[in-house]
Structure 1
Amino acid sequence: MPVRIPDNLPAAGVLESENIFVMSESRAANQDIRPMRVLILNLMPNKIETETQLLRLLGNTPLQVDVDLLRIHDKVSKHTSIDHMNTFYRNFDDVKANNYDGLIITGAPLGQIDFEDVSYWDHIKEIIDWSQQHVTSVLFLCWAAHAGLFHLYDLQRKLMDTKRSGVFNHQRTQTPHPLLRGFDDEFFAPHSRFAEMDIEQLRAHPDLEILAESDVAGAYLVISKNSHNLFVIGHPEYQKNTLKAEYLRDIDQGLAPDIPVNYFRNNDPEQDPIARWHSHGSLLVSNWLNYYVYQLTPYDLSDMSAMTPWESDM
Structure 2
Amino acid sequence: MSLRLPSGLPAIEILKRENIFVGDGQQEEETVNRRLRIVLLNLMPLKVITETDFVRLLSNSPLQLEISFMKLKSHVSKHTAAEHMERFYHDFEKLSKEKFDGMIVTGAPVEGMPFEEVDYWTELQEIFNWARENVGSTLYICWAAQAGLYHFYGVPKFPLEKKMFGIFPTVSLKPELPLFRGFDDVFRMPQSRHTEIRRGDIERVDDLEVIAESEESGVSVVRSRSRREFFITGHLEYAPDTLDTEYHRDLGKRDDVEVPKYYYREDDPSKGPLVTWRAHANLLFTNWLSWVVDIE
- So what's the TM-score if we normalise by structure 1? 0.91
Amino acid at match of 2:212: A
> Which residue does the alignment assign to 1:185?
185
C-alpha displacement of 1:255: 4.5
SS for the counterpart of 2:251 is: helix
Aligned length: 296
Is the 1:98–1:134 Cα contact (8 Å) retained in structure 2? no
> Which residue does the alignment assign to 2:200?
200
Amino acid at match of 2:148: G
Q: Which moved more, 1:4-13 or 1:193-202?
A: 193-202
Amino acid at match of 1:209: E
Is the 2:132–2:227 Cα contact (8 Å) retained in structure 1? no
C-alpha displacement of 1:248: 1.3
C-alpha displacement of 1:253: 3.4
C-alpha displacement of 1:295: 1.1
| Counterpart Cα distance in 2 of 1:243 and 1:199 | 26
1:268-287 per-residue CA deviation (whole Å, 9 max, x = no partner) reads 22220111100011011111
> Which residue does the alignment assign to 1:113?
113
Q: Which runs of 5+ in 1 are unaligned?
A: 298-314
| Counterpart Cα distance in 1 of 2:23 and 2:175 | 36
SS for the counterpart of 1:295 is: helix
SS for the counterpart of 2:271 is: coil
Which residues of 2 match residues 33-182 of structure 1 at below 5 A?
A: 33-73=33-73, 75-182=75-182
> Which residue does the alignment assign to 2:218?
218
SS for the counterpart of 1:110 is: coil
1:248-300 per-residue CA deviation (whole Å, 9 max, x = no partner) reads 11126345511111111121222201111000110111111111x11113xxx
Amino acid at match of 1:133: E
> Which residue does the alignment assign to 2:294?
295
Is the 2:171–2:213 Cα contact (8 Å) retained in structure 1? yes
| Counterpart Cα distance in 1 of 2:179 and 2:72 | 29
| Counterpart Cα distance in 2 of 1:253 and 1:49 | 23
3 and 252 in structure 1: CA distance in 2 versus 1, 3 angstrom threshold: farther
C-alpha displacement of 1:184: 0.6
Q: Which runs of 5+ in 2 are unaligned?
A: none
- So what's the TM-score if we normalise by structure 2? 0.96
C-alpha displacement of 1:36: 0.5
C-alpha displacement of 1:76: 4.3
Is the 1:219–1:233 Cα contact (8 Å) retained in structure 2? yes
Q: Which moved more, 1:140-149 or 1:77-86?
A: 77-86
1:112-144 per-residue CA deviation (whole Å, 9 max, x = no partner) reads 111011010101101000111110000000000
Q: What is the identity percentage for the equivalent residue pairs of Structure 1 and Structure 2?
A: 39
| Counterpart Cα distance in 2 of 1:134 and 1:227 | 11
